[in-house]
Amino acid sequence: MEQYLRNLFLMSVLLYVLGAAASALIYFFKKPYKTSMTGSVMVNAVCIVASGLGGAASAAKILLAVNSLKLINLSSTIPFISLEMNLDNLSAYFVLALSVLVFCVSLYSIGYLSHYNGKRNIGLFNLLYTLFILAMIGVLTSANTVCFYIFWEAMSLLSYFLVVFESEKEENTKAGTVYIVMTHIATALLLIGFIIIYSYTKSFALSANTAAIPGMAKNIVFILFLIGFGTKAGIIPLHIWLPHAHPAAPSNVSALMSGIMIKTAIYGLVRFVLCYLGVQNTWWGVVILILGILSAVLGVAYTSMEHNVKRLLAFCSVENIGIILIGLGVSFIAFALHHQIIGSLALTAALLHTFNHTLFKGGLFLGAGAIQYATHTKNIEDLGGLIKTMPLTALFFLCFSLAISAIVPFNGFISEWLTYQSLFASILPGHIGLNFLAVLAAAALALTGAMAAAAFVKLFGISFLGLPRSEQAAKAQDVPATMMIGMGILAALCLGIGLFPLTMIKLLDKVVFSVGGGSISGQLRGGFLLAYYPLTISVNSISPLTFMLALGVIILLAFIVIRIVGGKYIERRYGTWDCGFEALNSRTQYSATGFSKPIKIVFRALFRPIRKTIVEGDSQYHPEAIIYSTTVTSIFEDYLYEPVYRALLRFSRRTKFRVQTGSIHNYLFYIFALVLLLMLYNRFA
Amino acid sequence: MNNIVYLLVQLLVILLVAPFVNGLIKKVKALSQKRKGASVFQMYFDLYKLVKKKTVVSNVSSWIFHVTPYIVFATAMAAALLVPVSTKILPPQIPGDFIMVVSILALGRFFLMIAALDTASTFGGMGSSREAMISALIEPSILISMFTVALISRSTSLPQIMETVQKVGIPLAHPVYIMVGLALLIIILAETCRIPVDDPATHLELTMVHEAMILEYSGRHLALLEYGAAVKQLVFMTLFVNILIPQDQLIGVIGLGALILSLLIYLLKVILLALVMGIIEVNTVKLKLFSIPNLAALSFILAFLGVLQFLILGGKHV
Amino acid sequence: MSNLAVNSNLLETLSVLILLSSFVLMASKRINSYIKTFRIQSFLIALAAGIMGLRSLISEGRWDFLVVCLLIMIFKVLYIPNMLSKTYKNVSYKVEKDFILNIPILVLLCCGLVVFSYFTLTGVDGLSQDVLNLQLVNAVSVIWIGLLFMISRKKAIGQIIGFLVIENGLYITAMYSTQEMPFIVDLGIFIDLLTFVLIMGVMTFRINEKFESIDTDQLNNLKG
């Protein structure tokens, strides 16, 4: 059985490699457009099959196999460098999420890439894309830290190339720079953490016993990992690369980056802190919980201010990472206090939200890509009325919006409900500070949900409803069928998990059991696919399917009663009420800026909005045009990064004159001095 | 069997009482202004009239505009099914708790907000944008106040919460419940678009939130939306009265007589609350839009103090 | 809560209401609503003292708590607020306009103070959970809030009210934590307070006359 699964998984990896090789061929031989397009379809088809196999193997692994699968074990003569890959439950779970997303994104890419039609080398894109997926699989299955580090670095670099893929725009290269700097700082910290661990355990293997590490070193390693993984995950205040990089990357890549790449950081935190180091202090969890609350609230606050579709979604990822971290924080606290059940519940919530976020955020980015594909703009102020020209895209987008706002009957609600339940369960007599924190986290979660709904009402309402605000929006046409199917599968999954939460949670329970040693299956009742059984945690239960049925019945009854009482439905189409002025047009509609203004005013202390009014014309009193613009200050960039950046610049300028003089003799002297010092150190240490 | 009785009672009581409560509040306002006012049953006639009428639909709108009234009404009703009017007829397990109720109502609100944007009307956008702000501000205090009473009964399920209250004695004299009660009162005013937050009686640009969102609706669609709003109002009122003024400990026996008695007392409580709400509405002024955050903060603080009292009391469960 | 005596439950509720009244005080701007809120707060304290007094009268036959209750009624509920109202009528300043921070933030800070006093009091040796249950936290919070109130208000009447609230807080702290208070100490506090109010009342009037304002910042001008 295990052998069989192992082969299945390896086959999927092999297929990805094949895909990569094929795209490399297309890239190097620079085939004419038509062939390269066919090639691209083939490569994407290979990715679809590969992800199907990989996903199936991972799901089967979680459900059927007990031991972790040893995928590859190649050692070399160079010490420590050995390629070891294992697939245990945790890895399999993340690979499953990856596979589902890759499956849909590859389908979507078949249609989406056609807009690079002759402008770009699609071979190169596909090469980077497949390698990126491979690197992520590598990260998720590495069995030693060296391997993990190499794949992590590969993942970061490949995603950098993908971010700057449309390099003709200056802002994209700038975004890439921000991204690569942030991600490398993070990687450096991770490396330091790995080396500290090695210096105590003398082993790079992830199965090594970390009991030998003293408490202080563990604390330091935890902080390094938190910052390192936190940067990749985009927790506030390390999030600044997200809103730059996501809009710059092609939409299918942003879907992968936001959907799964930032989740590798969550994987890293669970893998390295929970499984590898073991949670030893309560304050670890507390720090994560506080960061989670901050990220969720501030992330959603910035989400509601954005008018660029993809920047909005990027900030929303920050918010959702915050929600995941709230669950993770509670679980770390509970594990540190040896409350296995609460810990498992919270971990289930966090991991389920990870999966859910993969689905709906991936879907939203695909939807954003579809909008961009159809209208060539990312600014929602130029959109409007797309629901009439792109009905299916609009429907899927609505599903994702509901899911991300934690509204029944979609999957976002299930994971937020579990998070609430874990917060609720974690309030126990005695832990005063923790109790307050849990209450605050619940309040933050509520605020986040409502603000996210506000932001997505704006995003959906302004871009899909009303009248088109620009030429392109009016002329938009619906996207190719493959793109639609890609989004449709994700939307169906969102609804499916929302209606049948137990399927996912039973699967997840095995993962959590293998990670935390606790299981909530005792708390779960009911059958596998049977909808009648609600999701029950201790005495609280929800049943979204029953709700849906009730909703359907009520709608039907209302419809019938009204039909009987009121007779046939007679509709008269007429213009929107315009107060008699007869001047309603797309410019008189509410704009996105106007929509979010109340929230901007309420939280002005946070946003520090700046507004500019420029009057054009001969005199102020006879304006020909008035240009009004308003922006929100990004306090983290302005008050946290900007000073550091300036200080660095100053320091570098100074060193240019004092240290980096350009004289060879000076440099030789440095080497001389350094070797001397090293010799001395060797003597005395 | 129990399930069916429960469903029937819930449906009937909520559907029948909701418009009446609306009429009652209007009557209180009218009387305070020395007017005779419309009959307390006026809303039933209004609904009937609206259902009979032809419907005008904006030619800009899409299918969202058509489905929204049904969804708003159905979500309000579905939420109502999860908030028991009497604890005498509880089914063994209700498939949802207060988090679910909040989320269900959020579904209705989400559709209402996008439907307001669907017609490209400026009023709709305005109402929608304001509603987004108000709901974002009021949501944390709903969650925290319900969280608090849930902590006392160790369960987030509403029947459980309401049964626990029966053992408290007089919740209004209980340090935790009284805080939650005050918070809930503000929440009810905000959620049902009553005067300090919104003015249900006018269509003026300055006040309108809910009315602006449904401005484009007419005929049977409007009837459904109005009915949905009334049901939602009754859901919150039921939540308030059944948590703060429990009735069923007075009646020991289980049976039809007890059920009817319990429902009568419930009706009495709702009428009382409606009178109080009417009086509050008469005696307060509409806050300017950007003072609403202060009101929301007040209700959040009250709810938070409630949690604090619970924790100070040592996290005792009843 | 069914196992607890009803009056103990009532005392808890009263202590919450006393805390709430200091929140209301912090949130209000009008000087006459300061006075009104203070009156209500004192009334609630008198009520609490009355309940305790009745209990000790029934169980131990002691009456001194009832006298205290009566004293609070006379002085804090009737005399001092009336006197302040008189002063209020004499000064031109009716609504407080400038605070050190805006009101919502001040109220949130008050919330923080309650959390803070709970957090710190649980660490104090010799305070069992039972004592904490007796709403010591609320009482101590009232003191803190009174102090914050004095800090945040610039006008003299605000200062007086703040001081009185601190005194109220001290009083209920003592009352709730020991369930009794030496009668003589009580009387001492009362006399102190009366003198303070009298002096401040006269002073406020004079400050107003002299500077045509009761802004205590004006006192800066007095220094040489």
Using alpha carbons, select from A286, A351, A291, A347 the residue that is nearest to residue A322.
A291
Sign of CA dihedral A93, A338, A233, A601: positive
pLDDT score for B289? 86
Residue A276 CA to chain centroid, in angstroms? 24
Residues of C in contact with A429 (CB under 8 A): none
Q: From CA B64, how far away is CA B5, in angstroms rounded?
A: 34
Report the residue count for chain A. Answer: 685
Pair of tokens at residue A455? 């932001």
Kind plus residue range of the DSSP H or E element containing A73 = strand A69-75
CB B137 within 8 A of CB B296: yes
Q: Per residue in A51-92, pLDDT tens?
A: 999 999 999 999 887 778 888 888 777 777 788 888 889 999
Cα-based distances in Å from B87 to B98, B161, B185, B248: 16, 10, 22, 7
Burial of C100 (0-12, 13-18, 19+ CB in 10 A): exposed
Q: Quote the minimal CA–CA distance from A335 to chain C in Å.
A: 23
Average pLDDT over residues A234-252: 90
Chain B / chain C CB contacts < 8 angstroms = 70
Using alpha carbons, select from A83, A89, A84 the residue that is nearest to residue A67.
A89
Q: Quote the minimal CA–CA distance from B247 to chain A in Å.
A: 24
Q: A335 in a domain, yes or no?
A: yes
Residues of A in contact with C118 (CB under 8 A): 432
Q: Per residue in A629-669, pLDDT tens?
A: 888 888 888 888 889 989 999 998 888 778 777 777 788 88
> Which pLDDT band holds residue C8 (cuts at 50, 70, 90)?
low
* Residues A436, C115: C-beta atoms closer than 8 Å: yes
* Residues B55, A572: C-beta atoms closer than 8 Å: yes
pLDDT score for A130? 94
Using alpha carbons, select from B274, B108, B126 the residue that is nearest to residue B203.
B126
Q: How many domains does chain A have?
A: 3
Q: A528 in a domain, yes or no?
A: yes
Residue of chain A nearest B79, judged by CA positions: A547
Pair of tokens at residue B163? 């049964």
| Closest CB to A547 among B96, B110, B293 | B96
DSSP 8-state assignment for residue C216:
G
What is the three-state SS of A289-341?
A: HHHHHHHHHHHHHHHCCCCEHHHHHHHHHHHHHHHHHHHHHHHHHHHHCCCHH
Q: From CA C84, how far away is CA C198, in angstroms rounded?
A: 9
> Which pLDDT band holds residue C97 (cuts at 50, 70, 90)?
confident
Pair of tokens at residue B149? 């009473």
Mean residue pLDDT across chain B: 88
Contact residues of C toward B, CB < 8 A: 1-2, 6, 9-10, 12-13, 15-17, 19-20, 23, 27, 103-104, 107-108, 110-111, 114-115, 118, 129, 132-133, 135, 137-138
Domain boundary among A566, A590, A614: A590
Task: State yes or no: pLDDT of A486 exceeds 70.
Answer: yes
| Closest CB to B313 among C108, C114, C133 | C133
CB A303 within 8 A of CB A316: yes
Average pLDDT over residues A328-349: 90
* Shared-domain flag, residues A537 and A404: yes
Residue A645, Cβ neighbours under 10 Å: how many?
A: 12
Task: State yes or no: pLDDT of A385 exceeds 70.
Answer: yes
* Residues C19, B298: C-beta atoms closer than 8 Å: no
* Residues C118, A432: C-beta atoms closer than 8 Å: yes
Sign of CA dihedral C153, C155, C156, C160: negative
Residues of A in contact with B60 (CB under 8 A): 385, 466-467, 575-576
Average pLDDT over residues C121-131: 64
* Residues B178, C2: C-beta atoms closer than 8 Å: no
Q: Per residue in C168-184, pLDDT tens?
A: 888 888 777 766 556 66
Could you tell me whether strands B55-58 and A571-574 are parallel, antiparallel, or unpaired per DSSP bridges? parallel
> Which pLDDT band holds residue A295 (cuts at 50, 70, 90)?
very high
CB B203 within 8 A of CB B127: no
Task: State yes or no: pLDDT of A32 exceeds 80.
Answer: no
CB A638 within 8 A of CB A663: no
Average pLDDT over residues C141-154: 87
Q: A135 in a domain, yes or no?
A: yes
Using alpha carbons, select from A186, A286, A194 the residue that is nearest to residue A239.
A186
Q: C40 in a domain, yes or no?
A: yes
Task: State yes or no: pLDDT of A525 exceeds 60.
Answer: no
Give me the residues paired with residue B55 across strands: A571
Task: State yes or no: pLDDT of C2 exceeds 50.
Answer: no
Give percent of chain B above pLDDT 70: 94
> Which pLDDT band holds residue A460 (cuts at 50, 70, 90)?
very high
Q: A236 in a domain, yes or no?
A: no
Residues of C in contact with B294 (CB under 8 A): 103-104
Using alpha carbons, select from A238, A402, A379, A248 the residue that is nearest to residue A318.
A238
Among B residues 230-259, those touching chain A with beta carbons less than 8 Å apart: none
Residues of B in contact with C107 (CB under 8 A): 297-298, 301
> Which pLDDT band holds residue A527 (cuts at 50, 70, 90)?
very low
Task: State yes or no: pLDDT of C210 exceeds 80.
Answer: no
Which range of residues forms the domain containing residue C15?
6-218
What is the three-state SS of A282-293?
A: HHHHHHHHHHHH
* Residues A446, B224: C-beta atoms closer than 8 Å: no
CB C9 within 8 A of CB C135: no
Kind plus residue range of the DSSP H or E element containing B178 = helix B175-191
Q: From CA C52, how far away is CA C50, in angstroms rounded?
A: 5
Domain boundary among A106, A127, A143: A143
* Shared-domain flag, residues A387 and A440: yes
Q: From CA C190, how far away is CA A39, in angstroms rounded?
A: 93
* Shared-domain flag, residues A571 and A651: no
Who has greater pLDDT, A228 or B257? A228
Residue A544 CA to chain centroid, in angstroms? 25
Which amino acid does the sequence have at B143? L
Q: Per residue in A404-436, pLDDT tens?
A: 999 988 999 999 999 999 999 888 877 778 888
The b/e string for A592-610 (b: 16+ C-beta within 10 A; e otherwise) is: bbebbbbbbebbeebbeee
| Closest CB to B312 among C1, C103, C118 | C118
* Residues A407, B160: C-beta atoms closer than 8 Å: no
Q: Quote the minimal CA–CA distance from A480 to chain B in Å.
A: 22
Average pLDDT over residues C87-115: 82
> Which residues lie below 8 Å from residue B81, measured CB to CB, with a gap of 6+?
A550, B7, B10, B11
Average pLDDT over residues B157-176: 83
Residues of B in contact with A453 (CB under 8 A): 106, 109-110, 113, 132, 135-136
Give me the residues paired with residue A573 across strands: B57
Residues of A in contact with B215 (CB under 8 A): 577
Q: Quote the minimal CA–CA distance from A441 to chain B in Å.
A: 10
A530–chain B Cβ distance below 8 A for any pair: no
* Shared-domain flag, residues A584 and A675: no
Q: Per residue in A561-590, pLDDT tens?
A: 999 998 889 889 988 888 887 778 888 888
User: Which of helix, strand or coil describes residue B250?
Assistant: coil
* Residues A436, C122: C-beta atoms closer than 8 Å: no
Cα-based distances in Å from C152 to A81, A169, A291, B95: 65, 53, 31, 49
Q: Per residue in B261-284, pLDDT tens?
A: 889 999 999 999 999 999 998 898
A436–chain C Cβ distance below 8 A for any pair: yes
Cα-based distances in Å from A652 to A5, A421, A649, A660: 54, 51, 5, 9
> Which pLDDT band holds residue A528 (cuts at 50, 70, 90)?
very low
Average pLDDT over residues A460-467: 93
Phi, psi of C222 (to 5 degrees): -75, -25
Q: Per residue in B63-95, pLDDT tens?
A: 999 999 999 999 999 999 999 988 887 776 777
Who has greater pLDDT, C162 or A460? A460
**Radius of gyration in angstroms for the set of CA atoms belonging to chain B, rounded to a whole number:** 19
Q: From CA B23, how far away is CA B226, in angstroms rounded?
A: 12
CB B179 within 8 A of CB C17: no
Q: From CA B155, how far away is CA B147, in angstroms rounded?
A: 9
pLDDT score for A19? 92
pTM over 0.95: no
Q: From CA A417, how far away is CA A406, in angstroms rounded?
A: 9
Which range of residues forms the domain containing residue A454?
279-590
Q: How many domains does chain C have?
A: 1
Q: Quote the minimal CA–CA distance from C119 to chain A in Å.
A: 7
pLDDT score for A529? 35
| Closest CB to A540 among B60, B97, B144 | B97
CB A466 within 8 A of CB B119: yes
pLDDT score for C1? 34
* Shared-domain flag, residues A547 and A655: no
* Residues B312, C133: C-beta atoms closer than 8 Å: yes
Residues of C in contact with A433 (CB under 8 A): 119
B120–chain A Cβ distance below 8 A for any pair: yes
Residue of chain C nearest B172, judged by CA positions: C13
Least confident of A396-405, A500-509, B238-247, C206-215: C206-215
User: Which of helix, strand or coil describes residue B209?
Assistant: coil
Who has greater pLDDT, B202 or A84? A84
Q: From CA A92, how far away is CA A404, in angstroms rounded?
A: 24
Q: From CA B212, how far away is CA A598, in angstroms rounded?
A: 16
Task: State yes or no: pLDDT of C125 exceeds 70.
Answer: no
Task: State yes or no: pLDDT of B250 exceeds 60.
Answer: yes
Who has greater pLDDT, C25 or C100? C25
Q: A194 in a domain, yes or no?
A: no
Residue of chain C nearest B167, judged by CA positions: C2
Q: C1 in a domain, yes or no?
A: no
Pair of tokens at residue A618? 């001969």
pLDDT score for C123? 67
> Which pLDDT band holds residue A530 (cuts at 50, 70, 90)?
very low
Q: C14 in a domain, yes or no?
A: yes
* Residues B156, A572: C-beta atoms closer than 8 Å: no
Give me the residues paired with residue B213 across strands: none
* Residues B305, C111: C-beta atoms closer than 8 Å: yes
CB A243 within 8 A of CB A311: yes
pLDDT score for A631? 85
Average pLDDT over residues A130-157: 93
Mean residue pLDDT across chain A: 88
* Residues B315, A427: C-beta atoms closer than 8 Å: yes
* Shared-domain flag, residues A24 and A103: yes
Contacts 24+ apart (CB under 8 A), A567-571: A567/B52, A569/B55, A569/B220, A570/B54, A570/B55, A571/B54, A571/B55, A571/B56, A571/B57
DSSP 8-state assignment for residue A144:
B
Q: From CA B86, how far away is CA B12, in angstroms rounded?
A: 13
Using alpha carbons, select from A455, A427, A401, A255 the residue that is nearest to residue A334.
A427
Could you tell me whether strands A82-87 and A571-574 are parallel, antiparallel, or unpaired per DSSP bridges? unpaired
Domain boundary among A572, A590, A608: A590
Give the dihedral of Cα atoms A645, A650, A655, A660; nearest 10 deg.
70
